């Protein structure tokens, strides 16, 4: 504290003796030096106040200081190792809630396989929640007639003329376009889709018309990883 106060006084004196209004030491303007002097003086007062408070209850204040240092260290470690921590978080969230997209490093989305062995994907279609089965064998995103109806998509009876291959075989469907399809932060617009005949499918399929728009996707054990562009 004493050193800072002496520095502040010295800076003020230097400003006062600069009678010609020129630079001090050939580099610093008098008004800049005055600002430094005021700053040093205020810092000295702040340090003095904290020191008095610290000296009044050193044990308690030392605990608080160590706590803040620990929090600061945790923030630094969290930033440096943010990507591995994101992977751990994604794994934990996937284990707790299979099917729920967990955001991983670089904006990737991780989905954990459900107990019956299928990758169920919770998504949003045109802003509404819908569940899908991940199906690379489906040539397009396929909605059941019931899901399509909930979204306001109601093909005419004669529109079910498109033959679609799925993991369960062949079905006939009507073409449609989804304004948006989002899995976690990955959002695709104007996605071509198909609406299956009533009773033809038990659930929606997340097929190639969405998957081929991604930067990539892969299966690692019980985890499905999607990468947006």
Question: 184-198 pLDDT, tens per residue?
Answer: 999 999 999 999 988
The answer to whether residues 147 and 129 touch, using CB atoms and an 8 Å cutoff, is no
Distance between CA atoms of 187 and 199, rounded to whole angstroms? Answer: 29
Q: In this predicted model, which residue has the larger pLDDT, 5 or 66?
A: 66
Question: CA torsion 86→124→159→213, rounded to 10°?
Answer: -30
Q: What is the largest CA-CA distance in the chain?
A: 96
pLDDT for 101 equals 73
Beta bridge partners of 63: none
CA atoms within 13 A on the CB side of 204: 25
Each residue's pLDDT tens digit, 46-86: 666 666 666 766 667 667 667 767 777 777 665 555 555 55
CA distance 82 to 152: 41
The pLDDT score that the predictor gives to residue 19 is 45
Q: What is the CATH number of domain 99-227?
A: 2.40.70.10
Which pTM value belongs to this model? 0.57
Instruction: Report the SS3 class of residue 184.
Output: coil
CATH 2.40.70.10 domain span(s) along the chain = 99-227
* Encoded tokens for 78: 């969290």
Structure tokens, 73: 């260290």
């Amino acid at each position: 504290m004493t050193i800072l106060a002496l520095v502040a006084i010295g800076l003020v004196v230097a400003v006062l003796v600069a009678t010609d209004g020129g630079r001090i030491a050939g580099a610093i303007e008098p008004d800049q030096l005055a600002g430094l002097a005021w700053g040093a003086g205020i810092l000295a007062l702040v340090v003095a106040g904290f020191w008095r408070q610290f000296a009044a209850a050193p044990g308690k204040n030392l605990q608080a200081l160590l706590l803040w240092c620990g929090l600061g260290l945790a923030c630094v470690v969290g930033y440096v190792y943010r990507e591995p921590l994101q992977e751990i978080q994604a794994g934990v969230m996937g284990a707790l809630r299979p099917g729920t997209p967990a955001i991983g490093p670089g904006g990737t989305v991780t989905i954990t396989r459900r107990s019956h062995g299928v990758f169920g994907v919770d998504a949003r279609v045109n802003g509404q929640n819908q569940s899908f089965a991940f199906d690379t064998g489906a040539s397009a995103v396929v909605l059941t007639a019931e899901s399509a109806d909930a979204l306001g998509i109601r093909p005419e009876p004669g529109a079910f003329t498109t033959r679609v291959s799925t993991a369960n075989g062949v079905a006939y469907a009507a073409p449609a376009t989804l304004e948006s399809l989002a899995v976690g932060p990955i959002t695709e617009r104007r996605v071509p889709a198909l609406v299956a005949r009533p009773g033809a499918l038990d659930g929606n399929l997340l097929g190639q018309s969405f998957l081929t728009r991604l930067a990539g996707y892969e299966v690692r054990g019980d985890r499905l990883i999607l990468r947006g562009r």
